[in-house]
Amino acid sequence: MSHIWDPDRYLAYADERGRPFVDLLARVHAETPKVVVDLGCGPGNLTALLADRWPRASVTGIDSSPQMIAAAREVLGVTWEVADLRDWARPDPVALRAPVDVLVSNATLQWLPDHLALLPDLLDRVAPRGWFAFQVPGNFDEPSHTIRADIAERAPYAEHVRDVAVPASHEPADYARLLLDLGCEVDAWETTYLHVLTGADPVFDWVSGTGARPTLQALPDGLRGDFEDEFRALLREAYPADADGRVVMPFRRIFVVAQKPDGVRV
């Protein structure tokens, strides 16, 4: 079963999800790029920041979710495209495509198990002296993910979710070494944000819009409710609310900004 993204649920924490994009973009020092691409643009609210920063550039947002692109089309000044970024990265000798001056991917590559091997192809789409910047979550050993995985391994859920998409990432040094070996200048770092959330089950609300969504959608109606009830209860234990109903959720993210060498095709 292919999961379907819900733009409204994703945007429930738009400010928290958007801050890493802004922090990533702050390290991209392009001045007057002509072509800017956002891979995995989601509902387009962050892609709009690219158009605002570089108003003379041709800005394109690409996402594999028709639902996300439908929501993004409300943002003006950007070209939107439904496409798999793996197809976009694939060399195409027939259709000559303009090199990209700034290529951005925010919280997307973690959904591709082979994304480390994909980085050279993505970099190949970038113009000499152009910029390739991406951010991926690095919190997959936190309870927000491990609890879901533990429940999903048990009967009666396992047979339904065995093949669902599960996000994963590498360490900052892994990305840095690969891009350094390709001749890039690399700035890689990590940040742990402390998100202060409120509501009855705020951590469940967060993960059910992103990392846990494929699992929840793959379960039949008769099992999904039981899974969610247990998941919510264990998340409440792992992330207890204080006396004022606030939950602090640590969220580690990994950032990489690479500037491509001059005149080198990778």
Single out the residue of 10, 261, 228, 250 nearest to residue 126, CA to CA: 261
Supply the pLDDT for residue 3. Answer: 55
Distance of CA 56 to the CA centre of its chain: 26
Residue 45 has pLDDT above 50, yes or no: yes
The whole-angstrom separation of Cα 220 and Cα 263 is 53
What three-state secondary structure class fits 187?
A: strand
The SS3 of residue 144 is helix
The CA–CA distances, whole Å, from 79 to 52, 88, 113 equal: 14, 15, 28
Query: What per-residue confidence (pLDDT) applies to 5?
Result: 47
Q: What is the pLDDT of residues 182-208, one digit of tens each?
A: 999 999 999 999 999 999 999 999 998
Residue pLDDT, tens place only, 139-172: 999 999 999 999 999 999 999 998 898 999 999 9
Inter-residue contact 174 to 116 (CB < 8 Å):
yes
For 86, the token pair is 């793996």
Instruction: Assign 126 to helix, strand or coil.
Output: strand
Q: What does the DSSP 8-state code read for residue 98?
A: P
Q: What's the confidence (pLDDT) of residue 251?
A: 96
- Cβ pair 54, 33 in contact under 8 A: yes
pLDDT in tens, 214-229: 899 999 999 999 999 9
Residues 215 and 264: their CA atoms lie apart, in Å, by 42
- Closest to 13 in 3D by CA, of 249, 261, 257, 258: 249
CATH match for 7-259 among 3.30.710.10, 3.40.190.10, 3.40.80.10, 3.40.50.150: 3.40.50.150
Q: Which residue carries 């819900």 as its tokens? A: 6
* pLDDT (0 to 100) of residue 18: 87
Adjacent-strand bridge partners of 191: 253
The two structure tokens encoding residue 190:
């990590």
Could you tell me whether strands 126-137 and 100-106 are parallel, antiparallel, or unpaired per DSSP bridges? parallel
Among 189, 207, 167, 164, CA closest to 258: 189
Which residues in 161-177 are b (16+ Cβ under 10 Å) and which e? beebebbebeebeebbe
Q: Of 158, 238, 172, give the one whose Cα is nearest residue 206.
A: 238
Q: And the tokens for 111?
A: 């959904």
Whether pLDDT at 10 is above 50:
no
pLDDT at 96: 55
Residue 212: its pLDDT value, please?
86
